[in-house]
Amino acid sequence: AISLRTRAWIETHFGWLKAAAGMRQVKQRGLTKVEALFQLAMAASNLVRLPKLIAAGAA
């Protein structure tokens, strides 16, 4: 059960990366450039989640 919840949570993030962050098809070449783009997109994902996490912590 924990594994299924974790997998679903991770899949939502990858779905966001593909839809909103434009990482369905990368325009860079090379592992280091693609990795940097991925890390930047994941940081943006965390910033999008931050207000909801702050609100949940205050409640």
> Would you place residue 20 in the very low, low, confident or very high pLDDT band (cuts 50, 70, 90)?
confident
> What tokens were used for 32?
């280091």
As a whole number, mean pLDDT of residues 35-54 equals 90
Tokens 């991770």, residue located: 10
Please state, in angstroms and rounded to a whole number, the distance separating the CA atoms of residues 45 and 29.
22
> What tokens were used for 34?
């693609």
Mean pLDDT of the chain, nearest integer: 89
Percent of the chain with pLDDT over 90: 39
Say if CB 21 and CB 42 are below 8 A apart.
no
As a whole number, mean pLDDT of residues 44-49 equals 90
Per the rule left: phi > 0, alpha: psi between -120 and 50, beta: everything else, 22 is left
